[in-house]
């Protein structure tokens, strides 16, 4: 037997070992455990604010940690910082490349970042001495589009790319500190763990992976989806995460059990999920869909608890503020809505 | 040569699988119970779950101020 053939066999054996180990832990299900729990009932939310100003499809948004400001990115070539309470625009930042696919707000509130088909993650200083907003770094190195970026702090940012890798960058030097390789398809989304030690990525290879930020290792890999994963988000306690996919399902994966615990789907739902978020307790899972709606799911019981209709085009992004007070949705209809 | 690079790539895949195979796993019953517990413990601090009263809602309908 050739060495290559031996290695292939060993890989097959290891995959079977993982499958068997997961099965051995599969002594129950989340549905069974929560069978006696009261359902959340009907969850209804109203649009409280409509943020108008973008002139083209909105592709991404993120709340600032103050739960009041938020940043959105549109292919009209602008990054807008909004005051969601008043709907005022704090900054309207013209981008060097209008093909933006992601944006992020630094936890300190001092920086924003964005990137897209230019393959670059651009860092913007929002609090310059002169009072204007300017690019302070252009992080280049990815050989594919920038699909997602998230600040660890003012000096470090994690990115995911169509080149199948993720990277941790030192913003000061502009260099990649760590490269995370392993996915075999475009990486579409990432989510930082609450303790910032790990992150989860979702890719077009239909798998999601847990990465150790410090040593660059992939700790766990999860399969189950049958099409591209477009969105990932950590459960608030850091022990689980949910993914949203083109296969019209969201799935909850538990890190400690190393397997899928729940699938959120319905026969009437046949379109892809673009974005996912958890409410503050994790009990509600919010998901944005290609059919212009946002569905509210009971995370523990797997039932749909509500539908948020209002956008006139695909919901491309959404996020819940850190105080848990509001959901923001962004759409291809060029508007953002704030709901609660 | 593509032959040896295939072997190098496969060795990496095998090494990664070995690593992932060796992690400690917890029973689903325990993991699920802990997720449920977290949700229950934090339910009252979850405004979208409990509903937001208009007095505490920073996004309540903007009213026009009037001088009394």
For residue A209, which residues of chain B lie inside 8 Å, CB to CB? none
C-alpha–C-alpha distance, residues A290 and A268, integer Å: 13
Domain that holds residue B14: 1-42
What was the pLDDT predicted at A188? 98
Q: Report how many domains make up chain B.
A: 1
- Residue A305, SS3 per DSSP: strand
What was the pLDDT predicted at A1? 80
- Residue B30, SS3 per DSSP: helix
What was the pLDDT predicted at B64? 63
B10: nearest CA partner in chain A? A7
The rounded radius of gyration (Å) of the Cα atoms in chain B is 27
Tell me whether residues B36 and A300 touch, CB distance under 8 A.
Answer: yes
Contacts of B34 (CB under 8 A, 6+ apart): A237, A239
> Does some domain include residue B53?
no
Tell me whether residues A324 and B13 touch, CB distance under 8 A.
Answer: no
For residue B26, which residues of chain A lie inside 8 Å, CB to CB? 25, 256-257
- pLDDT tens-digit readout, A86-97: 999 999 999 999
What was the pLDDT predicted at B65? 67
What was the pLDDT predicted at A274? 98
For residue A48, name the pLDDT band (cuts at 50, 70, 90).
very high
CATH label, A40-339, candidates 1.10.510.10, 2.130.10.10, 3.40.50.1860, 3.30.1600.10: 2.130.10.10
What was the pLDDT predicted at B5? 87
What was the pLDDT predicted at A130? 87
- Residue A245, SS3 per DSSP: strand
CA distance B68 to chain A (A): 23
What is the domain partition of chain A in residue ranges? 40-339
ipTM for the predicted complex comes to 0.95
Could you say which DSSP state residue A131 is in? Answer: S
Over residues A63-87, mean pLDDT: 98
Query: Per DSSP, what are the bridge partners of residue A297?
Result: A285, A304
Could you say which DSSP state residue A288 is in? Answer: E
Could you say which DSSP state residue A55 is in? Answer: S
> Does some domain include residue B10?
yes
Query: Per DSSP, what are the bridge partners of residue A216?
Result: none
Task: Tell me which of A28-32, A39-43, B61-65 is least confident.
Answer: B61-65
Residue with tokens 């230019």: A118
């Amino acid at each position: 037997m050739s060495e290559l053939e031996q290695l292939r066999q060993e890989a097959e054996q290891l995959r079977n070992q993982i499958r068997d180990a997961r099965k051995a832990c599969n002594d129950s299900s989340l549905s069974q455990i929560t069978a006696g729990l009261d359902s959340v009932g009907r969850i209804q939310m109203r649009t409280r604010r409509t943020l108008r100003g973008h002139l083209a499809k909105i592709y991404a948004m993120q709340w600032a940690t103050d739960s009041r400001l938020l940043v959105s990115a549109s292919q009209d070539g602008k990054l807008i910082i909004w005051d969601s309470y008043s709907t005022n625009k704090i900054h309207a930042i013209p981008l060097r490349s209008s093909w933006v696919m992601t944006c992020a707000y630094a936890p300190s509130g001092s920086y924003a970042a964005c990137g897209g088909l230019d393959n670059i993650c651009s860092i913007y200083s929002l609090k310059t001495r002169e009072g204007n907003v300017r690019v302070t770094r252009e992080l280049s190195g990815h050989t594919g589009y920038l699909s997602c970026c998230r600040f660890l702090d003012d000096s470090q940012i994690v990115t995911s790319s169509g080149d199948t890798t993720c990277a941790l960058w030192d913003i000061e030097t502009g260099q990649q500190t760590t490269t995370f390789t392993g996915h075999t398809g475009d990486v579409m989304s990432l989510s930082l763990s609450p303790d910032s030690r790990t992150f989860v990525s979702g890719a077009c290879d239909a798998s999601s992976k847990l990465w150790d930020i410090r040593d660059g290792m992939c700790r766990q890999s999860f399969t189950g989806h049958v099409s591209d994963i477009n969105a990932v988000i950590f459960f608030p306690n850091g022990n689980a995460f949910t993914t949203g996919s083109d296969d019209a399902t969201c799935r909850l994966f538990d890190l400690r059990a190393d397997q899928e615990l729940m699938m959120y789907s319905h026969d009437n739902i046949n379109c892809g999920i673009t974005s996912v978020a958890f409410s503050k307790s994790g009990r509600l899972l919010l998901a944005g869909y290609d059919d212009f709606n946002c569905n509210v799911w009971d995370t523990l019981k797997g039932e749909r608890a509500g539908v948020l209709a209002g956008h006139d085009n695909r919901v491309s992004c959404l996020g819940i503020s850190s105080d848990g007070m509001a959901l923001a949705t962004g759409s291809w209809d060029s508007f953002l809505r704030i709901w609660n | 040569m593509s032959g040896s690079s295939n072997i190098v790539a496969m060795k990496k895949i095998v090494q990664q699988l070995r690593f992932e195979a060796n992690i400690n796993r917890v029973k689903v019953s325990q993991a699920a119970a802990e997720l449920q517990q977290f949700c229950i413990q934090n339910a009252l601090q979850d405004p979208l779950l409990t509903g937001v009263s208009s007095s505490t809602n920073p996004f309540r309908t903007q009213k026009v101020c009037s001088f009394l």
